[in-house]
């Protein structure tokens, strides 16, 4: 996915996990908050240095990663 400009990977920040704009907020944190029922407004209040586009790009990145790898399951 080439058009993601807000997701950064740096081994010196959060152990190399995908983060928002080099900040110490991971894509996993954003996805986890959304999955727990937090709204985008809730997240922006909790992390005032984030922008709405950061949240949308984190979700897009997570969706892309979820589709990236196919793992064959063993037959039963």
Task: Write the CATH number for 63.
Answer: 1.10.10.10
Mean of pLDDT over the chain: 91
Percent of the chain predicted with pLDDT > 70: 88
Can you give the pTM of this predicted structure?
A: 0.83
pLDDT at residue number 68: 65
- Is 60 part of any domain? yes
- Is 42 part of any domain? yes
pLDDT at residue number 4: 87
75 versus 40: the higher-pLDDT residue is: 40
Whether residue 19 contacts residue 10, with contact meaning beta carbons closer than 8 Å, is answered with: yes
- Is 76 part of any domain? no
Question: What kind and span of H or E run contains 7?
Answer: strand 7-8
Residue 75 has pLDDT above 80, yes or no: no
Q: Which domain holds residue 29?
A: 7-67
Number of domains in the chain: 1
């Amino acid at each position: 996915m080439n058009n993601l400009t807000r997701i950064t990977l740096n081994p010196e920040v959060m152990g190399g996990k995908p983060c928002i704009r080099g900040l110490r907020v991971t894509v996993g944190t954003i996805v986890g908050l959304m999955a727990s029922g937090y709204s985008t407004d809730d997240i922006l209040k909790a992390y005032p240095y984030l922008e709405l586009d950061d949240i949308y790009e984190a979700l897009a990145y997570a969706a892309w990663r979820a589709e990236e790898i196919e793992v064959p399951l063993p037959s039963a």
